[in-house]
């Protein structure tokens, strides 16, 4: 009799339960009322009295073993279902969501790349800037309206500090810490105390270029801007209109020929076909002097453009606020590939 218990024990131990169907089969075969263990219990009365104790103990142990095995298997199936491990590996996976490059970054990268190809490096500087780098070294007269509280966010604790109003401040830093030739491009965030509307924001991005060397002329400036226009807008046709900046002399406003074929072209260029894209000019000798560069030996040009404006034209974005609202429906439109 004890032998029967041992045989059944061996059989139960050799079985492995890999799914719910097998576990149920196991339960019916061994643990149910008509199962093998119950059958052995029925034999109990035929066991000689002196063996009853050992037989009973062995049988109870066997029953516990089988019950434990069954329970453990079921619990295992529960937890693998919850974690998905060892689940049905043929089921399609959950796709990982891909983000998109923000249009401001995409435009910035594209412009940086165009200038890198002709030997410009990238400079960055602090967003909280002192008066010297943002204004004084750039030849802003003491009473210039751009220093006015209405345009500039000053740091209340120290009015010598302000949020930079343009990335020209980075160019001053580049001139202070390098000797010519200097070829650098500085992209970055700038701040102006302006009312927020569809066309203007108090935080936006600029990218500025600076080239200082011996014998740099206005013709060099025009040439590099034509190269840029060709690479970025696919059209080297530009025009320059006289303008004024404290830090450049002469100064110009640069328009790129956009075209006048479609209704959108008319809208973007206000019916002229020309798109105003940047300010530029020859670096004022006072600015070179302030940064420790001898204007008798060196000359240079600078240019600067707003990234939001360019992105709005490129992608037909009607409202500048969309760039900072982080609305997924907007950002997802800039997904590439997949
Ligand atoms: N810093 C100017 C601006 O913020 C742009 C500019 C840069 C103009 C360099 C001329 C030369 O509008």
Q: Is the CB of 300 under 6 A from ligand 1?
A: no
| Residue 85 confidence (pLDDT) | 63
Q: Which helix (H) or strand (E) holds 190?
A: strand 182-191
**Ligand 1, atom 5: closest residue by C-alpha:** 304
To the nearest 10 degrees (0 to 180), the angle between helices 2-14 and 52-83 is: 10
DSSP 269-309: TTTSSEEEEEEEEEEPHHHHHHTT--TTT-EEEEEEEEHHH
Q: List pLDDT tens digits, range 193-238.
A: 888 888 889 999 999 999 999 999 999 999 999 999 999 999 889 9
Q: Is the CB of 287 under 6 A from ligand 1?
A: no
Q: List pLDDT tens digits, range 18-44.
A: 888 899 999 999 999 999 999 888 888
Question: What DSSP character marks residue 225?
Answer: H
| Residue 255 confidence (pLDDT) | 93
| Residue 259 confidence (pLDDT) | 87
Q: Is the CB of 168 under 6 A from ligand 1?
A: yes
| Residue 93 confidence (pLDDT) | 83
| Residue 199 confidence (pLDDT) | 82
Q: Which parts of the chain have pLDDT scores under 50?
A: 338
**Ligand 1, atom 4: closest residue by C-alpha:** 166
Q: Report CA(2)–ligand 1 centroid distance (Å).
A: 99
| Residue 242 confidence (pLDDT) | 97
Q: Which CA distances in Å does 277 have to 65, 78, 231?
A: 82, 63, 14
Q: List pLDDT tens digits, range 302-318.
A: 999 999 989 988 898 88
| Residue 337 confidence (pLDDT) | 58
Q: Which helix (H) or strand (E) holds 240?
A: strand 238-245
**Ligand 1, atom 8: closest residue by C-alpha:** 279
């Amino acid at each position: 009799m004890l032998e029967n218990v041992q045989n059944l024990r061996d059989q139960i131990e050799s079985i492995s339960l890999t799914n719910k169907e097998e576990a149920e089969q196991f339960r019916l075969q061994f643990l149910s009322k008509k199962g093998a263990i119950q059958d052995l219990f029925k034999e109990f009365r035929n066991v000689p009295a002196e063996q009853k104790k050992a037989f009973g103990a062995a049988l109870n142990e066997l029953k516990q073993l089988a019950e434990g095995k069954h329970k453990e298997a079921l619990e295992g199936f529960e937890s693998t279902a919850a974690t998905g491990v060892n689940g049905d590996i043929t089921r399609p996976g959950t796709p990982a969501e891909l983000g998109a490059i923000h249009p401001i970054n995409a435009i910035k990268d594209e412009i940086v790349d165009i200038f890198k190809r002709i030997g410009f490096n990238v400079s960055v500087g602090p967003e909280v800037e002192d008066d010297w780098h943002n204004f004084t070294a750039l030849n802003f007269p003491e009473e210039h309206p751009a220093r006015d509280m209405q345009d500039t966010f000053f740091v209340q604790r120290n009015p010598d500090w302000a949020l930079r109003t343009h990335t020209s401040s980075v160019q001053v830093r580049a001139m202070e810490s390098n000797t010519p030739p200097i070829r650098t491009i500085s992209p970055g965030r700038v701040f102006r105390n302006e009312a927020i509307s569809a066309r203007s924001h108090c935080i936006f991005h600029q990218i500025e270029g600076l080239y200082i060397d011996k014998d740099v002329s206005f013709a060099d400036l025009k040439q590099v801007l034509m190269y840029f226009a060709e690479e970025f807008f696919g059209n080297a046709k530009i025009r320059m209109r006289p303008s004024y900046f404290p830090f450049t002399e002469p100064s110009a406003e640069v328009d790129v020929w956009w075209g006048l074929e479609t209704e959108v072209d008319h809208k973007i260029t206000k019916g002229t076909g020309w798109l105003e894209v940047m300010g530029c000019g020859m670096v004022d000798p006072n600015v070179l002097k302030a940064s420790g560069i001898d204007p008798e030996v060196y000359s240079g040009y600078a240019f600067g453009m707003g990234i939001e404006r360019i992105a709005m034209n490129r992608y037909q974005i009607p409202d500048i606020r969309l760039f900072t609202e982080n609305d997924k429906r907007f950002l997802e439109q800039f997904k590439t590939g997949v």
